Structure 1
């Protein structure tokens, strides 16, 4: 990879499947266990223990569902259906029908971007949203405006940030974003994690007192900084972050936090040496 060849740090602030363990890679968002461990028990408790796993046909949904299957079995649940679709799929009616016929109480969805929007719209049109509970993996508030007014409600997520969190530091962060970008811009956890990455660079360089690539790597390893939701620690060995997580559901144009989940460490998927 280019970052290794050039010995240049890669700061990755989007959730992903884990396993990128390298001196020059730092992950500032979630890996599967951080998104699934607290979400799945809540879905079983609130909706039922039969799951339909549905996502795009690439590595992130595949790895997410591998871990989800293990956790669901451990909860006494059952996966009654699983399927992946290629990017660019336009017609989801047959899939909606299969989900309905499966008897699933929960749909665990890992279908990002425009495809995910299309699926939710069609699921709404065919009444699926009234029959199942959606666990939305990789959620961002930017989706909600695309679903249409009053659509995409009561979908469940676990995230490291929501703009509605009742905390002075979160409120200050949201206010500063609004001042910079305007009141109509959705503020998602992706915005915060990218902000966190920049803050970490600043702190790491101050820590080492040097401004070169190797010093940055050394400064980031094991670093703890204060982010809008509390402390965030970068693993010294795996370069993934431990941070606070929140159970939330979609409500109106944003997320309503149901329960703070506390600090949750990543299972980065690094091979033991």
Structure 2
């Protein structure tokens, strides 16, 4: 570890903040919020390296309890990996990371953000997870909080397109439903090349949990299918937290569509995928889910035998096989954590947001809100997702997608088989900052 940290300090990785030293007094991470790493108070950084400057204080609103806790825990792990990657320092000083539990609830997420800003005086906030919680915090940031706000896994277009929500403080690394649906629809049209049965790709059935992500995804799937001359002939929106999917799988089975699509959270995927297999659904329908399920690392690490069954496909923007320095280092450091999961896009999102924030502070030599925002706008860097950038016009990260499936590998973890690549799929900005 010391050798790697020393190497990072000497060489730097992909032009992102050089690391220096190991963590001062270690870090303490729990699931009850209030987690801190590093030491020091807030203030303004006057230089891009060396001592004598005030350390950075970073706040994070994570869903460490409630229905989105699995996602929140991975966001937290990404921050831990980033802390190690940075050597516990930003701009030559130890930084302080303070984590509050947003409890998978909009009001609790707002209160967590309020605590971080008003009581802890943080310089920026990362999180929370889910679109509904994120939108609630965005509105607070716009009206009161007014510090740089780097969102992790929010994918609803409402956050990016509704003038009541979008604002100059928010930055999005996660893709929105507006590019998930068209990319997924394009991949669906290519599925006949990858299955050994005749399927009609002009009709699909949509599946998701019944909340902002799913409702918005359904609307956009309809738009995307209409553009290719197809249609969504049915939809199944399942109550959040449902564990018994039998009646819903029966509904999907009875659909006239040959193809099932949609968006799933980790919690929903953990219930749907094995139960769908037990009912033989992939033998009846070809299932192509957007944004990482079932081809993502979560599925590979928790149900490896389930996701390699014929009939499962997905689109995603994180390829664990990507061979670049940030991803290799991310995977190595993640592997040192006590986790039963594999390096994944959710942890990768918060990992990259921390790197981007550190770079903005390094480049501007300041923790002032306007300076951090200026440093993030137009920032381009090599990431675990490949080459990405924060667009100046709407603060959306532009990244590439692929379509694929999981296949048996040499070890316990099934490999990703990339079947199609989709560069430059992020649509134009729809919100003026």
Shorter-chain TM range is 0.7 to 0.9
Shift of 1:174: 5.0
Cα 1:155/1:74, change in 2 over 3 Å: same
Matched, 1:75 2:228: yes
Once residues 171 and 234 of structure 1 are traced to their aligned partners in structure 2, the CA distance between those partners, rounded to angstroms, is 19
> TM-score scaled by structure 1?
0.87
Structure number with greater CO (CA < 8 Å, separation at least 6) is 1
Cα 1:56/1:23, change in 2 over 3 Å: same
Aligned length: 270
Give the alignment partner of residue 29 of structure 1, picking from 171, 174, 199.
Answer: 174
Shift of 1:227: 1.6
Equivalent positions of 1:53-132 (< 5 A) are: 53-132=206-285
Matched, 1:222 2:367: no
Q: Which residue of 1 aligns with 2:41?
A: none
Deviations 1:82-131 (Å, cap 9, x if unpaired)? 12121122332222222222232111132323333212222111100122
Q: Which residue of 2 aligns with 1:256?
A: 417
Q: Which residue of 2 aligns with 1:52?
A: 205
Once residues 243 and 339 of structure 2 are traced to their aligned partners in structure 1, the CA distance between those partners, rounded to angstroms, is 32
For the residue of structure 2 that corresponds to 1:264, the secondary structure is coil
Give the alignment partner of residue 321 of structure 2, picking from 152, 158, 164.
Answer: 164
Q: State whether residues 112 and 138 of structure 1, in contact with CA within 8 Å, keep that contact through their aligned partners in structure 2.
A: no
Deviations 1:24-69 (Å, cap 9, x if unpaired)? 1111111113322222122122142220001111111111111111
Q: State whether residues 173 and 228 of structure 1, in contact with CA within 8 Å, keep that contact through their aligned partners in structure 2.
A: no
RMSD: 2.4
> TM-score scaled by structure 2?
0.57
Unaligned regions of 5+ residues in structure 1, if any? none
Q: Judge which range, 59-68 or 31-40, deviates more.
A: 31-40
Q: Which residue of 1 aligns with 2:183?
A: 38
Cα 1:204/1:266, change in 2 over 3 Å: farther
Kindly name which structure, 1 or 2, has the bigger radius of gyration based on alpha carbons. 2
Unaligned regions of 5+ residues in structure 2, if any? 1-138, 160-165, 193-200
For the residue of structure 2 that corresponds to 1:89, the secondary structure is coil
Cα 1:267/1:83, change in 2 over 3 Å: farther
For the residue of structure 2 that corresponds to 1:150, the secondary structure is helix
Matched, 1:195 2:351: yes
Shift of 1:151: 0.6
